[in-house]
């Protein structure tokens, strides 16, 4: 069920981007998040697993629509001197939701397993309405006029830019690590090999979230002041160190150390790649944002399958080692990133 939702997001990324370029962010955001609300209600009322699977999968299309629309307007809402800090604030709201959501959902599930999906749908309707109302006078989120259609950034022109290609690769590797490895084989390794209780494991994951939240705004500020290349190198290096630490982890304190390291690395990687994309886009670029988000969705889809197969056949350490190699490649790519903050450094894109 989780995989089909991610696959639907991935498959519809470019379509969502095309809709943004044609109809504007306000329309696509409001309709997309409203669509997720309706499919959440349907999932909450599903009569069997097949219906639940279909409704959640279809909901991934709406998720793609609103996330691409939100990403598109966010990267153009401010200049490159504040872009990473704004991205940090945006990602911080997601962290709050990731903390509050399971807590509220867990409490509601004591009454009914359907309740979390139904309450989720109510919140999404509120978000959809808020977007439609609050963005109604926004020129950034409006439907492009005939002249503005000529300012849409094409995928071909974006892919010709080295910083954009590097951002795609780093985004893929980061999602491979954070959403692919950390949510699939890492919990199994902790429970099966380290014999750590689920409660202690939960503490380690909470530690990561708290540290990432504490460093988010600081990481965004450092990216805006010290440069995207600097922040990307810091983020990829710490995340590579996290994966390498897991290769040699044999007890709980090493797991906690790795959790702290990835919390800091995640703060940098959740802000800087998107800021790089925003730096190099001139005008609307819905499909450009769509492909960027698809790169993360691809990493989140491929990693669990491939790393799971490796863990089954050869053990967890080789799977962690492959992730470390992936992140090492991301470090090398980050070193080659030309600075994109032209307003600060006076360098061309």
Query: Which conformational region is residue 24 in: left (phi greater than 0), alpha (psi within -120 to 50 degrees), or beta?
Result: left
DSSP string across 125-163: HHHHHHHHHHTTT-SSSSPP-TTGGGGPPPHHHHHTSHH
How far is it, in rounded angstroms, from Cα 257 to Cα 91?
Answer: 23
Query: CA Rg, the chain, in Å?
Result: 20
Contact 178, 266 (CB under 8 A): yes
What would the pLDDT profile of 160-180 be if each residue is shown by its tens digit? 999 999 999 999 999 999 988
What per-residue confidence (pLDDT) applies to 273? 94
Would you state the pLDDT for residue 349? Answer: 42
- Distance from C-alpha of 164 to C-alpha of 134, rounded to nearest angstrom: 31
What percent of the chain is helix, strand and coil (3-state, nearest 5)?
Answer: 80, 0, 20
Structure tokens at 142: 């409006």
Q: What is the pLDDT of residue 256?
A: 95
| The two structure tokens encoding residue 121 | 């749908």
- Whether the Cβ atoms of residue 235 and residue 269 lie closer than 8 Å to each other: yes
Report the C-alpha gap between 151 and 283 in whole angstroms: 5
In the chain, which stretches have pLDDT less than 70? 2, 145-151, 282-283, 343-349
Of 232, 267, 222, 217, nearest in space to 89 by CA: 217
CB atoms under 10 Å from CB of 253, counted, come to: 9
What pLDDT does residue 149 have? Answer: 56
- How far is residue 166 from each of residues 126, 158, 160, 324, measured CA to CA in Å? 36, 11, 11, 18
Give the position of tokens 């990307």: 232
HSE-CB of 208 using CA atoms within 13 angstroms = 21
Distance between terminal CA atoms of the chain? Answer: 41
Distance CA 193, CA 46 (A): 37
Name the residue with tokens 């150390």. Answer: 257
Answer yes or no: are the C-beta atoms of 62 and 36 closer than 8 Å: yes
Q: Quick one: pLDDT at residue 348?
A: 43
Q: Are 148 and 21 in contact (CB under 8 A)?
A: no
Residue 66 makes CB contacts below 8 A (sequence gap 6+) with 28, 29, 30, 32, 33, 36, 131
255/249 Cα distance (integer angstroms) = 6
Sign of CA dihedral 282, 160, 239, 222: negative
Q: What is the model's pLDDT at position 240?
A: 98
Q: Which residue ranges form the domains of the chain, and what is each CATH number?
A: 2-83+110-135 (1.20.1250.20), 155-337 (1.20.1250.20)
Q: How much is the pTM?
A: 0.87
């Amino acid at each position: 069920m989780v995989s089909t939702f991610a696959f639907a997001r991935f498959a519809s990324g470019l379509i969502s981007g095309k809709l943004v370029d044609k109809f504007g962010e306000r329309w696509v955001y409001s309709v997309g998040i409203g669509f997720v609300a309706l499919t959440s209600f349907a999932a909450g009322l599903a009569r069997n697993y097949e219906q639940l699977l279909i409704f959640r999968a279809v909901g991934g299309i709406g998720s793609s629509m609103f996330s691409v629309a939100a990403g598109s307007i966010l990267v153009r809402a401010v200049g490159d001197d504040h872009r990473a800090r704004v991205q940090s604030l945006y990602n911080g709201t997601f962290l709050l939701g990731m903390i509050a959501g399971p807590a509220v959902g867990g409490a509601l599930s004591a009454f009914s397993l359907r309740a979390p999906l139904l309450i989720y749908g109510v919140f999404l309707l509120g978000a959809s309405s808020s977007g439609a109302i609050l963005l109604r006078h926004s020129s950034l989120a409006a439907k492009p006029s005939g002249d503005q259609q000529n300012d849409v950034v094409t995928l071909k022109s974006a892919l010709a830019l080295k910083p954009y290609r590097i951002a795609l690769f780093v985004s893929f590797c980061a999602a491979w690590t954070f959403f692919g490895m950390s949510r699939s084989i890492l919990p199994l390794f902790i429970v099966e090999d380290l014999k750590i209780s689920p409660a202690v494991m939960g503490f380690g994951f909470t530690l990561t979230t708290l540290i990432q939240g504490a460093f988010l705004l600081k990481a965004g500020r450092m990216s805006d002041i010290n440069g995207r290349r600097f922040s990307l190198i810091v983020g990829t290096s710490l995340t590579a160190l996290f994966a390498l630490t897991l290769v040699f982890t044999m007890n709980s304190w090493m797991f906690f150390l790795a959790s702290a390291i990835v919390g800091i690395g995640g703060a940098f990687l959740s802000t800087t790649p998107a800021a790089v994309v925003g730096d190099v886009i001139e005008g609307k670029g819905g499909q450009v944002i769509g492909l960027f988000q698809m790169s993360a969705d691809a990493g989140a889809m491929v990693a669990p399958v491939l790393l799971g197969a490796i863990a089954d056949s050869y053990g967890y350490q080789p799977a962690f080692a492959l992730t470390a190699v992936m992140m090492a490649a991301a470090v090398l790519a980050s070193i080659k990133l030309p600075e994109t903050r032209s307003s600060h450094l006076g360098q061309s894109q």
